[in-house]
Each structure stands twice: as structure tokens, then as C-alpha cells.
Amino acid sequence: MKQKKNKDAAKEGRYGIYLILLGVFILEFFFFAWCRVQYVETGYDISEETAKYQKLLSLQRNFKIELARLKSPERLSKIARSRLGLVAPKTGQTIIIP
């Protein structure tokens, strides 16, 4: 009878070890799945930020073009003549300061 109790105790010990190993593998699986989800989410975040960056670069290029258009000498002289009533000086109206 004692021998049977020892075998039962040994079996229970093995079952306990198997359960612990099974628990470790399940935890490891969940940890791997969590890491993978974080990896994919980070990839999505990076793509989203890259798209925002490209959009901002395009906007910056458009603003630079608009600034160049607004600073053009032809546009400024047209505004000076039409809105402000300015005219180019005649040869006798200029004074050269030495």
C-alpha cells in the first residue's frame, strides 16, 4: 500500500510539473501575441506619421511657391501703380547722394 501511495504522489508531482510547464507556455504565447500586436500597431503609427510628414512637406512646398508669387516684382509694381498711385521717377526727379 505504501508503494502505491508513493506512485500516486509521484504522478501528482509530475502532473503539477506539467501544469506549471503548460502555464509557462500559455503565458509565453500570450506575451508573444502581445508583442506582435504592439509591433503591428507601431508599424501603423509609423506609416500614419510618415503620411502626415509627406502632407506637411507638400504644404510647405505650396507655401514657398505662394510666397515667391506674392514677392514677385511684377505683382508688387502692379500693386504700387494701381492701388497706391505710385509712378516711376523721371530722370530729373532723382538725386544722387555722394
Domain boundaries along the sequence of the chain: 2-72
Cα Rg of the chain, angstroms: 40
Asked if 75 and 69 touch (Cβ cutoff 8 Å), the reply is yes
Q: For the chain, give the percent of residues with pLDDT over 90.
A: 70
Local confidence band at 33 (pLDDT 50, 70, 90 cut-offs):
very high
Which of the pair, 4 or 58, is modelled with greater confidence? 58
Which of the pair, 45 or 97, is modelled with greater confidence? 45
> What pLDDT is recorded for position 53?
98
Distance CA 86, CA 96 (A): 20
15-20: average pLDDT: 90
Would you give the distance in Å from CA 83 to the centre of its chain?
A: 46
Asked if 80 and 86 touch (Cβ cutoff 8 Å), the reply is yes
